[in-house]
Amino acid sequence: MSAPDVLPDDVELVRTTDVFDETNHPAGLLRAHRVAEGVWGRLVVYSGALTFTFDDTADGDDLAAPYTVAAGAAFVIPPLRPHHVGFDGPVTFAIEFYRRPDTVALTTGPESSGLTD
């Protein structure tokens, strides 16, 4: 199954993380977490590959199955869907965060808003 790679038309890039690898990354990426309401993530893999898994199933879809996201590919992460990544070898990647321009202030919480503090 191919990874979802299309963002909504009306979102804009808010920020991009540093480039991470299999040894240098936020520990929280390996356990269930989610992107904040009103924010989309876009996982971009530069080299190697990683596994992306949704930790839920959305009504009527089969997106919970693990995906392999390889170099040159991207994976769109919708708001509020719990997910995690895994590494099977060397990889470099970053996460872009997008939101709609008319979005009001984002709420704080354990999710990633894509904004810097």
- Averaged pLDDT of the chain: 85
How many Cα neighbours within 13 Å face the side chain of 43?
A: 29
Pick the residue with more confidence: 72 or 116?
A: 72
The CATH T-level fold of domain 12-99 is Jelly Rolls (2.60.120)
Q: Is the pLDDT of residue 9 over 70?
A: yes
Task: Supply 89's token pair.
Answer: 């070898």
Instruction: Give the model's pLDDT for residue 117.
Output: 40
What is the DSSP code (8-state) at residue 31?
S
Flag the least confident range among 10-14, 89-93, 105-109: 105-109
Q: What residues contact residue 21 under an 8 Å CB cut-off, 6+ apart?
A: 90, 91, 92, 93
Q: How many CB atoms within 10 Å of residue 87?
A: 18
Amino acid at 92: T
Q: How confident is the model at residue 101 (pLDDT cuts 50, 70, 90)?
A: confident
Domain range list for the chain: 12-99
Q: How many CB atoms within 10 Å of residue 18?
A: 9
| pTM score of the predicted model | 0.82
Pick the residue with more confidence: 11 or 61?
A: 11
